[in-house]
Amino acid sequence: MNSDHNRLGRELDLFATSPAIGAGLPMLLPDGAIIRAELEKLAAEESARSGCLGVYTPVLAKRSLFERSGHWDKFSADMFPPMRIGGEEYVLRPANCPHHTQIFAARGRSFRELPFRVSELGSMFRSELSGVLGGLTRVRQISLDDAHVFCTPGQVREEVGRALDSIERCYGVLGLVASFRLSVRGGSGHYLGDSVQWDTAEHQLRDALGSREFTVGEGDAAFYGPKIDVQVIGSPDTVSTVQIDFNQP
């Protein structure tokens, strides 16, 4: 049985590509759109069940927002070039995180409102090289079901556990078996924050994993904090992540 999604996608008339549109920008055909709509429905139901509030944010933002978040310093080589509009530079977002911080900052908030959970199924953009593009897995426009939780340090353990439970429920519906990797700092690389923050965050993630078996990925952390990468058994690709970011707030 050939399970290559490129071949199956074309044989089942699910998606196609067009030279007129460009590499890494696939189109979902009517049957593929039905599958996507059902997955989006599942994601929305699970987000609501997890206590998230839905939001919508623009795919563009000023370059200065990504400089402030650290994404420009870390990812500018993988981002599309800035567009100059009205004397200011705008870029297509490579991540939703900076936008969601602005949702939180839209008005003054009390600690009594925490945890504050938001979710968005939105588009992000990566300037991938042509040689690595393929099918629906390496593309230049990504659709990501992304949630951000603003909480106190004392709420982290419960919130990470809530996210892991949510991921496992979705994997169960889809018939996927999850494996877990705790991704931590390596001996080299550019990371934000101090060692105390990193040690605390890594301990919180280990605690939240509980009795789940996991491996440790040295050097696989995000530049702003450690994370739990959730993969499908038998595949090296990360499908979901739960990350602690102690810098963005």
Q: What is the pLDDT of residues 215-243, one digit of tens each?
A: 999 998 988 899 999 998 877 788 899 99
Q: What is the pLDDT of residues 93-134, one digit of tens each?
A: 998 999 999 999 999 989 999 999 999 999 999 888 777 787
CB 120 within 8 A of CB 100: yes
Per-residue pLDDT, averaged over 144-173, amounts to: 94
pLDDT at 1 over 70: no
Alpha helices (H) along 53-155:
63-69, 71-75, 97-104
CB 179 within 8 A of CB 233: yes
Among 181, 170, 236, 240, residue whose Cα is nearest residue 205: 181
pLDDT at 48 over 90: yes
Q: What is the pLDDT of residues 3-12, one digit of tens each?
A: 678 788 888 9
Residue identified by tokens 């870390």 is 74
Look at residue 81 in the predicted model and tell me its pLDDT: 93
| 249 band by pLDDT with thresholds 50, 70 and 90 | low
Look at residue 215 in the predicted model and tell me its pLDDT: 93
Across-strand partners of 147?
119
Q: Does domain 153-249 have CATH number 2.60.40?
A: no
Strand order in the sheet with 88-92: 60-62, 88-92, 83-85
CA distances from 40 to 97, 203, 237 (A): 20, 33, 21
pTM above 0.85, yes or no: yes
Q: What is the pLDDT of residues 90-100, one digit of tens each?
A: 999 998 999 99
pLDDT at 41 over 90: yes
Q: What is the pLDDT of residues 68-88, one digit of tens each?
A: 988 898 889 989 999 999 999
Across-strand partners of 21?
none
User: What is the sign, positive or negative, of the torsion defined by CA atoms of 222, 229, 96, 60?
Assistant: positive
Residues 6+ apart with CB under 8 A from 70: 192, 223, 224, 247
Domain spans, the chain? 153-249
Q: What is the pLDDT of residues 160-219, one digit of tens each?
A: 999 999 999 999 999 988 999 999 998 877 888 889 999 999 999 999 999 999 999 999
Residues 6+ apart with CB under 8 A from 15: 9, 26, 27, 28, 29, 32, 136
Alpha helices (H) along 20-86:
30-49, 63-69, 71-75
The C-alpha torsion from 118 through 162 and 171 to 205, rounded to 10°, is 110
Angle between helices 156-174 and 195-209 (to 10 degrees): 50
